[in-house]
Each structure stands twice: as structure tokens, then as C-alpha cells.
Amino acid sequence: MNIFLAQQNYHIGNFESNTRKIIDAIREARARGGDLIVFSELAVCGYPPRDFLEFDDFIEQSLLAIDKIREEADSIGVIIGAPSRNPQIEGKDLFNSAYLLYEKKIAGIAHKTLLPTYDIFDEYRYFEPAYEWNVIPFKGLRLAITICEDIWNIEDNPLYRICPMDQLMPGAPDLMINISASPFDYGHAEGRISTIKRNVAHYKLPMIYCNTVGSQTEIVFDGGSVVMDEQQQTIAALPFFEEALQNVHWSREKGFEEAVIKSAGDVPDYQQIPESFSAEQGIDEIHKALVLGIRDYFGKMGFSKAIVASSGGIDSALVLALACEALQPENVQALLMPSQFSSGHSVEDAVKLSENLGNPYQILPINAVFDAFSHTLQPVFGDLPFSVAEENLQSRIRGTLVMALSNKFGSILLNTSNKSELATGYGTLYGDMAGGLGVLGDCYKMQVYALSHYINRHQTIIPENILVKAPSAELRPGQKDSDSLPDYSVLDPILYQYIERRQGPKEIIARGFDAALVSRILKLVNTNEYKRNQFCPIIRVSPKAFGVGRRVPIVGKYLS
């Protein structure tokens, strides 16, 4: 049997585009002698559709798309993900389903059993879990079809009380096929391979695993679809962060006829969230995820041009470099807005960066605007000393100017705040926290440095002076980030323990961190939830990002 895996990038709710892409892959696979082609979870409507699933018209369009795809499934079988209606009176109205289309009919259907309701997932809000399990016959074979989470309950500490493959094994399947929408984080690919291996070893069956690729606002899907034989050898491994169409040859008698890409060796036991913070972990993959996140956000939203407030600091430098890579330099405008507190080298560094990248830039000094605001406020402020009010005023002036250019020229403002700043509230609402997309909001400051060095791995793009100078918002004379925050090499590991690993103060202090410092940092995190609640979407690259995957009360007493 000639089996194809279609690893594709879908657009949520764009049924016309998704259906066309799916049909094109079916036709190519059929022309190349394909017997079966496998697509990913909810491929027809895109993942995650969220509350679109509550619209009957959305479901009808999905079902109509299945009808169109079914007409292409003549001599070739098609396994594809889409919502289906629950015919029972009880339970939710929909299933998250995998359709087997063949001979222009729905030859079989499997429903997802394990509906994740954690982090970014909220599937039980919309779907009914499967209540029956059957292998599906196809061209003399018996297929055990599961959907994403269904294979993840094989770990030593199961999250669910049922394992779908256990229910399917009495049907004596020949192949396991799993269709997924498994999102990226910097350790998740290793976890997938480990999970697939455990399933193969436990059930002694080969597995075809098809994942989606592409970014859906904050969630990035990295692909990495895999075919593994019953000896746990990787027969085919599709690329990460790219669309791909790959075929393998398999028969019950001979197994897989040839290896496309052989396994490099055993995969170590998977630890989803490492115990200790490492700024270097997964830098190559994080870089690719951020570029894809920017590119897809703009492409799927119909935007073409970006604008970045370029300060001469490392955060804006990295965002500018990533945006130029994702969108091409001519489509990325840098706006330099120095004040009387900006150092001369900051402007020079920002100019040099844009010259290295080849993107357009403009310089709009804010001195006169700041003086005008200060003069207007003087009757109220009187002789009160210079404070955070004047600092934030500069940030908000910059936010106003950069948003004015965004409105005038149709450019989308890319926010440059990093995760360390967002965690501790080191940012100004309606100022440097403005933007349409948070590029670095899931990258700690030490990861920002690591990514910047990675950008420079072949040639100097980000000027050396930006990499080595002390971080500063430059909102008052001689200001440094260290005036308000602990050194990032100390701060980031503590934040990581609290945010990614959900460790409380006692556990963090037990790791050797100063008790007073831990208390201060955790209090900053909790009391600044109101700021993050007003922030733009953040491209997710870690196991626990601010945004849809982290739900913390704004008004709460814990550690405050």
C-alpha cells in the first residue's frame, strides 16, 4: 500500500482555501499511485476553531467541504479531520472526528476520545468524547484511527481513565494512524517521538502520525509528522515548520519496503518541562517558530507591512531582524524616537541595524512633544519631582507616534516586550506595551540574548554594541533595567520555576534562591496580571505562555 502524509498549513474558517489545498494533495497522491492519504486533525476547518464551532453555519460549511473532498476520494482513500454532528440527544452537539473517505463515500468515521482541557486546549467545551471504538476496514487492512490526544494517555501517570487504543486492540488492527494538531514548544517534538515510540512498543504495531504545520495567531504548529515501524525505527520524518507531502510503502507481509529517513537512535525519556531554565534550549526551533508566527499572522490576516519602534536596544533589534526575515526588509518600517534621555549610541546602533538589514527607517525625536506635554501638565504636577509619571509619558508619546504611522500607512505594530518584562510589569500600558502581535512575549530576556546571537551566527546583523550594552529603557538619566529588576540571569530562572513549572515559593527557595528575592519577584508577577490581561496576542514558544494558556485572576490574594 502506497500511503501519503499531507502535512499542511491551514487557515481557520477559510474553507475554500483549505479544501483547495486538500484536493490538490489528493490529486497529486493519486497521480503518484497513492492508495491512501492522511491529513491532520480538523484540517477542513483549521485548528483551533474555538467558538466558531458554536455557529451552525460554520459546521454546515465544514460538512459541505467534506462532500467536495469525498468526490475526490475515488480510487484513493482519504483520512481527514473535521467536526461531525452527534446524532444522540444526550451530550454535546459535535464530535472531533477523523473521516475515512473512499469510493466517494464516507467509509468510516472515528471520534476523538480524550478531549484536552488544559493550557491552550479547551476541547471539552465544544466536543463530546467518543463512546464507541471500532477499527475501520480499508483495502484488506484494519486501521486503528485515533486523534492527537488519544495516544498521549500511555505515560506512567495517565491523565484520563480510558485509553482509546486499548479499546481498539480487540479489533486486531494492522496499522495505527493518528491525526494531530500538536502545537510547538521548545521541548514538545521530543515528547511526541517518545509518545509515538511508547505506543508502538506497547501495541507492537506501526504508526503513521500526521501533524499540522503553521501558525494560528499565538499558537504555532511545527509539523514533524512521523512514520514508525513496529521495531520503533523512524521510517519517514517530515520536516519541521514546512508543508510536505511524503509517501511510504507498506504491506502486511513485508512491512515498510524502504526507509525514507532512518532513526538516528533512541529518543531519551521525555521530560516536558525541564527542571532548570536554559536560555539556549531549542534556539534554532524558537527562531523558526517566531518567523513562522509573524509570517502566518500577516499572511492569514491579509497584512503586508509591519512597523517596529526601534530603540537601539536588544529587544527591538531582535524583533526587527525577525520581522525582516519573515516579511522581507522592504516591508518592515523602523521608527526611531529618541528623547533628551536617549544616548547618542542608541540612535547610531538603531540606524546601523536598519542599514545591516536593509529596511527603511525614520527618526522622529520626541523632545518637543515631551516638553509640550510637560508644560501642559505643569499646573497640575507643580513642583513635584520627576517620577514614573514622566517616564511613562515618554513611552506613551512613542506609542502614540508609532500607532499614528500604523494607522496612516496600514502597517501593523509589532510589540517588542519580552517575557521577563511582562512577568514583572516592567512596561507601560498604552506605551511600549502597544502592538498587534507580541513577538518576544514568550521569550525571557536571556533567551532574547541567545536568539540575537543566533541571528548573528553567520554574519553581524545585530550590531555588537546592542549585544553588550547594559539594558535600559532610557527614560531618565543613567537608567538601567537593573535599577528596577534583579539581574536577568537571576530573574529568569526564578520566573521559569514559577510560570513554566508552577512551583510555589517554598519549592523555589529550596532550589537555593534567596527567600526575599523570590517573594518580591512572585509578588510582581501576580500584581501585574492586569497589564498582561490587556496585552496583544503572544507567539507561544514555551510550555506555558502568557495568554490563552495561562488563566490567573486579576483580583487575587495569592502571594500578593
Q: What are phi and psi of 383, to 5 degrees?
A: -100, 15
Give residue 370's identity as a one-letter amino acid code.
F
Among candidate residues 462, 456, 455, 411, the one with its CA nearest the CA of residue 437: 411
Domain ranges of the chain: 2-256, 283-481
Average pLDDT of 112-125? 96
Average pLDDT of 80-97? 96
Cell of 371: 516638553
pLDDT band at 267 (very low <50, low <70, confident <90, very high): very low
Segment 355-378, tens digit of pLDDT: 999 999 999 999 999 999 999 999
Specify the fold of 283-481. Rossmann fold (3.40.50)
Average pLDDT of 394-402? 97
| From 21, 41, 45, 210, active-site residue | 41
148 in catalytic set: yes
Q: What is the pLDDT at residue 272?
A: 65
Q: What is the pLDDT at residue 343?
A: 75
pLDDT band at 559 (very low <50, low <70, confident <90, very high): confident
End-to-end Cα separation, the chain, in angstroms: 61
Q: Check residues 58 and 478 and name the one with the higher pLDDT.
A: 58
Average pLDDT score over the chain: 94
Kindly report the pTM of this predicted structure: 0.95
**Percent of the chain residues topping a pLDDT of 70:** 97
DSSP state of 124: G
pLDDT band at 273 (very low <50, low <70, confident <90, very high): confident
Of 38-52, 172-186, 477-491, minimum mean pLDDT range: 477-491
163 in catalytic set: no
In angstroms, rounded to a whole number, what is the distance separating the alpha carbons of residues 100 and 145? 9
Is 227 a residue whose pLDDT tops 60? yes
| From 21, 45, 72, 112, active-site residue | 112
Same fold, 2-256 and 283-481: no
Of 128-137, 425-434, 470-479, minimum mean pLDDT range: 470-479
| From 21, 45, 148, 443, active-site residue | 148
Segment 236-251, tens digit of pLDDT: 999 999 999 999 999 9
In angstroms, rounded to a whole number, what is the distance separating the alpha carbons of residues 166 and 406? 55
Segment 436-456, tens digit of pLDDT: 999 999 999 999 999 999 999
* Superfamily name and number for 2-256: Carbon-nitrogen hydrolase (3.60.110.10)
Is 88 a residue whose pLDDT tops 60? yes
- For the chain, give the number of residues: 560
Q: What is the pLDDT at residue 133?
A: 97
90 in catalytic set: no
Side-chain half-sphere exposure of 80, counting CA atoms within 13 A? 33
Side-chain half-sphere exposure of 366, counting CA atoms within 13 A? 27
Is 45 a residue whose pLDDT tops 90? yes
